[in-house]
């Protein structure tokens, strides 16, 4: 942990400053001094259940420390343009990520994954 913290220490300052800037800029959206949160939500398609060995992780990503635009937080609300953060394509899976576009009903819950396995019966709770 200390080795990783040492490697990524150059970005701690811009991350904290970016967080502070974001809190200041978006306070009216997230309630400001009044408790509450103004949100717009929707439903997302479910993800398929974990399968072995296809879902095994490949830890092959690298990119090193990078502030990726922080501490500035450009936004459309403040006269800026939609800002797309630069991203790093890494080799960390057998196949490229493809989101699921099908609805899944009665998918396993998080507790089932953690305590009873992905395919435990719901009556076991």
Most confident of 11-15, 29-33, 50-54, 67-71: 11-15
Mean pLDDT of all residues in 59-77:
69
Radius of gyration of the chain (CA): 20
pTM over 0.75: no
Judged on CB neighbours under 10 Å (0-12, 13-18, 19+), 25 is middle
Q: What is the number of structural domains in the chain?
A: 1
In the 8-state DSSP scheme, what is residue 6? H
Contact by Cβ (8 Å): 36, 63: no
Enclosing domain of residue 28 = 1-125
């Amino acid at each position: 942990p200390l080795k990783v913290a040492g490697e990524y220490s150059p970005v701690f300052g811009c991350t904290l400053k970016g967080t502070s800037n974001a809190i200041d800029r978006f306070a009216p959206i997230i309630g400001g001094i009044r408790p509450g949160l103004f949100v717009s939500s929707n439903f997302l398609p479910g993800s398929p259940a974990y399968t072995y060995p296809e879902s095994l992780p490949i830890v092959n990503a690298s990119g090193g420390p990078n502030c990726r635009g922080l501490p500035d937080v450009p936004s459309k609300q403040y006269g800026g343009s939609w800002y797309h953060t630069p991203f790093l394509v890494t080799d960390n899976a057998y196949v490229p990520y493809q989101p699921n576009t099908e609805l899944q009903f009665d998918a396993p819950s998080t507790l089932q994954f953690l305590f009873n396995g992905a395919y435990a019966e719901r009556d076991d709770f």
